[in-house]
Structure formats: structure tokens, C-alpha cells
Structure 1
Amino acid sequence: MGERRRALAVIVCLWSLISLSGAARLGSGPKQTLEVQKHLRRLNKPAVKSIQSPDGDVIDCVHISDQPAFDHPYLKDHKIQMRPNYHPEGLFDENKVATSTKERANPINQPWHVNGKCPENTIPIRRTKEDDVLRASSVKRYGRKKRRSIPKPRSADPNLINQSGHQHAIAYVEGDKYYGAKATINVWEPKIQQSNEFSLSQLWLLGGSFGEDLNSIEAGWQVSPDLYGDNNTRLFTYWTSDAYQATGCYNLLCSGFIQINNQIAMGASISPVSAFRNSQYDISILIWKVKSKMATILTN
């Protein structure tokens, strides 16, 4: 988040729906095809094992040191830290964990789990397909959000904001003594009527000013046909260090986010999901600062 002290806004974004009229799609032609294929080779790393998911995804078990994060020159000699050197108080209290496990009768899984699991020292990565990249406005912008300004909330009460078709209800706190946040989020599968709309629920941490130096870390679930090609509810992460201008991306679609867990695939579907007057399912997400870094963990 930077060396100097900055205010941190912790936002729980309850619902978000955006309609992007006239969304551009990557053009066709020999040059574009070659560019797409090169990008796919960069994203889809050699797999130790591949698992076909019932929902149509292919999950590649990639050696932990071969993940996309290490394509960045600054991470060339990075030593992977398998466990954070600091945990928030009470996070791994054995009694609390045991109680939580007993109370959770409906655990959330990902569909690909039924056909296998990734070995130790590998991480599961959703394989990017050619159609995924072709839905983007350009190869460079694939997996990135559209450049936009972030409106600063005006009150600490939950409120509905509508800006350029982007509607979201939020509840938040801000200050300079926060080092992370945790949220338990109910998981649904909202119906998306147009392919260029999306809906999500997320935990959202912002640092810096609400300008070009804005730092953002986001995690939760989303339904995004434009990004994934279907209406499945999917687990996601996102980050940016310059207000979505040139840095950051979803999941593992660029360098920066280092994954160590071999059981959870970023961008993969979540199942089952909640239904009206029926069983309810949720996920708990915790994000906290470890020295100069931020750690993200899906706790349930």
C-alpha cells in the first residue's frame, strides 16, 4: 500500500450491476489471432495435471513456482512464503475452528473438486480459452476492469450509488489504523440479462487518495458473462495500484497475485449457491496486512 501512512477504506460492496452499452469485442484477422495465441501461451502454464470440471472449465494444476505472478521481472528471485509471519488474533484458534466446522452443515465447494484435486506444490488455475480473450476489447485489456474513477462514499451508512450505470450498495469504515477486514458473504446466482452486465458481492479495501494513486484489493463472488462466458457464480480477486489505469487484473490473469493454496481455483465456479426459501450458503473472506504486503484468505 506504499511506505507513507495512508487512510484505508474498508468497503463491503453488497450488490453491483453495471451495463456497458456497446461493449467492444476484439477484432479478427491473422495479426489478432497470433497475438491471442501468444497471450494464451503466457497465461496457460504447463500443467502437472489437468482436471475437467463438470461446468466446462479445465483446471490446470501448475507448479507453484510457474504461476503467472513470477513472469514479472521484480519477482524473478522471489522466495515463496508459504505461511504469513503474522496472523490476526484468534484466526486459527482451534476451538473456534472446530465449532465453526460443526455448525457449517452446507460447505461450499467448487465443481472441479468432484473429478480430482491438485497435488502438493501445485496450484489450480482455470485455463483461459481463446473465446475468453476474444470477448475483450483488446488482448492488453483482457482480465482488467475498464478505467473509471472511484466515487468516495459520503457517509458510513449503507447507501445506494448510481454512477454511469454502475449501481452498488455499500457499508464501510475508514481510517489510518486498520490493517485488514473480514466479511461473510451470502452466495447467490443472480440472473444476468445482457452479456455486458455483471453482478457481484465483495470485500473491498482501498488505500491512498481517490485519484490516480488509489490502491485497491477486492475479493468475493461475481457473475460476469463477458469475462467468463457463462452465468456461473465464481470466486474472484482483483487488485490495482493506480486506480485501474495500467496495473492489476482479475484472479491470476497477470503478474502480482501469488497463490499458495492447492485447493481453491480463482475464477472457478462456486457450488452450491443460496436459493430463495431454501438452503443458504456463504463464504468468509479475510484480507490483512503482513509487513508491507497484503494477504488474502478464503476461510470457509
Structure 2
Amino acid sequence: MLMHQKIIRQSLLVLYLLISYDGVQGKTMLSKLEDLELEEQLKLLNKPSIKTIKSKYGDIYNCVDFYKQPTFDHPLLKNHNFHPQMKPTLARPKQNSSTSETSWSSRIWSKDGDCPFGTVPIKIITKEDLVRQRNMPPPEDVIIDTELTNTINNTSDSKGRYISSQAYKLAIVRTLKNQNNKFGGAGMATSLYNPHVEGQQHSACRLKIQKGSDILQVGWRVDPTLYRDSKTRLFIHFQAGNKHCFNVLCPGFVLVNNEIPIDMAFDKISRRGERRTWEFRMFIDRDLVNGNWWPLLAKTYVKIGFWPQKIFTSLASFANNIEWGGVAYSPPGVPKPPMGSSFFPIAQSNYDAYCRGLSVLNDKGATIDVDETTIYVDDPKLYQVLDYPHAAPGKFQHWVFYGGPGESHQL
């Protein structure tokens, strides 16, 4: 019986890949009207370039004048006073820069160098990209039936349920549910892995900030549908009401950094069991003065851009929910992909995917420890989470280990 089920599963996967191949590869036959619509979309996304540059991974970017970037096509951003030297007002302590501009450039770009000041790097989008991205799934839609309280031994109340729709699977830790929470941001350091995905599957680690239907995310993901390859890449995502968008594929995120692209590939990836673990720090902070939301990178809080306050409703003020951890997706009928290190966590940092140094900002912008959290795993047979709010003495020693093989071991 088990062998029979395995053969059926493999046959369904092969059939799915054959059916979806053209769409994923960008070879779907288009009607004349669809083709014209894509051409118009390309004109909106691919703005005139001052310079064209190439990353070390072969990605080609246009250096677009700051004031002509696609985000200013947003109807709420037509009349703005933004400029390329914008910096957020934060309460975070200033850090001495250990990562110079030169080192960022040498890690990301080929001999062409980065974009000139006053411009921003935006990846050139092709018609094939747009066709492939039509297969992007809708955003997560989750229902929390019962609050699950984290305990020291990492057990959870089996009566609570965290239901993911649209074929998403999560292994996360989140702040305790309280509508009166007022968070001005959050942060983490996350280990970098490259779980194997195929077709329209994707696997990611993210920091997620939310209030109501407004959502902000920053993290890494492996996503052939979004990126046309299977590299581990940086991503940002926002949802404002019914509208959602990755990176700068639609108006909403204002780029200010002329050097670091928001979809860059990470050049160092962790290998399970190796002594050295590669990680990256990520934050999302609310500007204390104007309420804009800034994703920040690395120890020095490198600024790549911001989501303007005016595009949000619920997140025009503070967030009330923060999440850290992994998410995996596969279309219905397709086996779930691996997450994190592709193995169940065992609470060892050189074997597990992790998020560590978890922190949140209060409504005054002060950084505080995250002491009380809740575990959510909607399919513990595929993925698991281990949560240690005080893994070591001192402040900001909150570690979360997550991951799992998904259904890849059954293929």
C-alpha cells in the first residue's frame, strides 16, 4: 500500500511539472490582448536607465533616477517630498560601520560597480518574468483558533490550531495575541540556507510585522517563480489591505540605497553540520517622526528604503503582531518542500536553521527583549520549531530553531 501511494504521488508530481512547465518557464501562449497588457506593464516597471550594471550572479539592473522609480506611480505617492538622502529617525544605538561601502559593492557587483548616487538599482523585468510570476500564489491567509502558550520544554497545547490556507505551511514563533500591543518594529539574525524547491514551490524564512490586513515582511527565500532561479535571495513584501507585492514589482516601496538591491543573492550559504554558520541580520523599524516603515540590514542598520505610512490603514500606526520563522509553499497536490536546513531541529546552531537575537521595539522606539512567545506549527509531521527565550545569559538571547524535510523524503 505504501509503495502504491508513493508511485501515485510521484506520478502526480511529474504530471504537475509537465502541465506547469510552460508557465514557470515563461512559455505560455498569450492572446494579443494579454501580450499588449504585458507590454504596458513592462513600460511601467522598466524605467529609463542612466546606467546598466550586472551582479556577480548575472542579474542585470537598471540604475534608475530616484525620482523616476516605479513606486512613484502609486496614486498616493504622486505628490511626495521624498529625496535620495532620506534617513529614518530611530532610537536604535548607532553602530560603528564594520561593513564599508566598498565591501558591499565588491560582494554584489561585477566590474561595472554599483549605481551612481541619486539612482537606485532595479532589476530589469522581462515578459517571461511577468508570465512566470502570474503563477505566484496569493498571500498567506491564516486563522488562529486558540492561543498556544510557549513553554520551556517546547511543548504546545494540542487543542490550539493555526490554519494556513492557500497551501502554505508555517513553523513560526510569534508574540502573544493582544490587540493592545504597540510594536514599532522588530529584528533578528537568521541563518542562511538553500532548501531544494521545484516548479512553483518556495521556501523562506521571514520576519513579519502585522496589524489587521496590513503586513510587512523581510527575509530570505528560495523561489523560482519569483526569481527565475533557485538561489537564496533577500526579499521584502508588503500587504496593504487587499493589495500585496514583493520587492518593487508594484508601487509601494521607496528605494533610497544606490548599492544594495532588495533581491540580491546571498554569496555565503550555511551547510548543515559545518562549523561555520552564515547568518544575516534583518530589522523593520518605524520612523519615530513620520511613521514610515524601514527594513534595515546587517549590524549597522543599512537603509535600503521604506514603505511610506500613507499607503497603509492599520499600519499607519503601530503593529500588534510579530512573527519569526519559516514558511513553505507548494500548489495543491504537490509535495511540500523542505524548510530551513531541510531537517527537523535539534537545538544546535550548526545543524539547524535558526532565528536568534529576537527583539521588538515598543511605541517609543526602544528595543526590548521578547520574553513570552507562542509556537505555531500547522503540520508537525513535516516541520517543527524549538523556542528558547533565554538560551544564554544576558539580553537578546532568544533563539528559535525551525525547519523540516517537508514531504521531500517521500519522493
Specify the SS of the correspondent of 2:148.
coil
Match of 2:249 among 236, 248, 253: 253
Give the AA of the match of 1:286. F
Equivalent residue, structure 1, for 2:119: 122
Equivalent residue, structure 2, for 1:146: 138
Equivalent residue, structure 2, for 1:197: 201
Equivalent residue, structure 2, for 1:14: none
Equivalent residue, structure 2, for 1:272: 268
| 1:148-172 CA-partner distances (Å, limit 9, x unpaired) | 5223383353779673532221111
Contact 1:126 1:266 in 2 (8 A): no
Please provide the CA RMSD for this pair: 3.0
Cα separation, 1, equivalents of 2:245 and 2:69: 15
Q: TM-score normalised to the size of structure 1? A: 0.76
Q: Which moved more, 1:152-161 or 1:288-297?
A: 152-161
| 1:118-142 CA-partner distances (Å, limit 9, x unpaired) | 11111111111221111133xxxx7
Equivalent residue, structure 2, for 1:218: 217
Specify the SS of the correspondent of 1:196.
coil
Cα separation, 2, equivalents of 1:259 and 1:145: 25
Q: Per the alignment, do residues 278 and 112 of structure 1 end up closer, same or farther by CA in structure 2, a change over 3 Å counting?
A: farther
Cα separation, 1, equivalents of 2:229 and 2:174: 31
Report the alpha carbon displacement of residue 259 of structure 1 after superposing the two structures with TM.
Answer: 1.1
Equivalent residue, structure 2, for 1:62: 64
Give the AA of the match of 1:182. G
Equivalent residue, structure 2, for 1:86: 89
| 1:79-114 CA-partner distances (Å, limit 9, x unpaired) | 115334521231x144xx55xx69xxx989754355
Match of 2:187 among 182, 187, 195: 182
Match of 2:169 among 167, 170, 175: 167
Q: TM-score normalised to the size of structure 2? A: 0.57
Cα separation, 2, equivalents of 1:241 and 1:161: 22
Whether 1:232 and 2:235 are equivalent positions in the alignment is: no
Report the alpha carbon displacement of residue 75 of structure 1 after superposing the two structures with TM.
Answer: 1.0
Q: Which moved more, 1:254-263 or 1:284-293?
A: 284-293
Cα separation, 2, equivalents of 1:129 and 1:45: 13
Report the alpha carbon displacement of residue 234 of structure 1 after superposing the two structures with TM.
Answer: 1.0
Cα separation, 1, equivalents of 2:112 and 2:280: 22
Specify the SS of the correspondent of 1:239.
strand
Q: Which moved more, 1:148-157 or 1:78-87?
A: 148-157
> Which structure: larger Rg?
2
Cα separation, 2, equivalents of 1:54 and 1:278: 26
Contact 2:60 2:124 in 1 (8 A): yes
Contact 1:126 1:268 in 2 (8 A): no
Q: Which runs of 5+ in 1 are unaligned?
A: 1-18, 209-213
Report the alpha carbon displacement of residue 53 of structure 1 after superposing the two structures with TM.
Answer: 2.7
Cα separation, 1, equivalents of 2:203 and 2:249: 20
Q: Per the alignment, do residues 183 and 129 of structure 1 end up closer, same or farther by CA in structure 2, a change over 3 Å counting?
A: same
Q: Which runs of 5+ in 2 are unaligned?
A: 1-12, 300-411
Report the alpha carbon displacement of residue 76 of structure 1 after superposing the two structures with TM.
Answer: 1.4
Percent identity of paired positions between Structure 1 and Structure 2: 25
Report the alpha carbon displacement of residue 29 of structure 1 after superposing the two structures with TM.
Answer: 2.6
Cα separation, 2, equivalents of 1:84 and 1:272: 28
Q: Per the alignment, do residues 107 and 183 of structure 1 end up closer, same or farther by CA in structure 2, a change over 3 Å counting?
A: farther
Matched residue pairs, number? 259
Contact 2:104 2:260 in 1 (8 A): no
Give the AA of the match of 2:190. I
Specify the SS of the correspondent of 1:273.
coil
Q: Per the alignment, do residues 283 and 147 of structure 1 end up closer, same or farther by CA in structure 2, a change over 3 Å counting?
A: closer
Give the AA of the match of 1:257. F
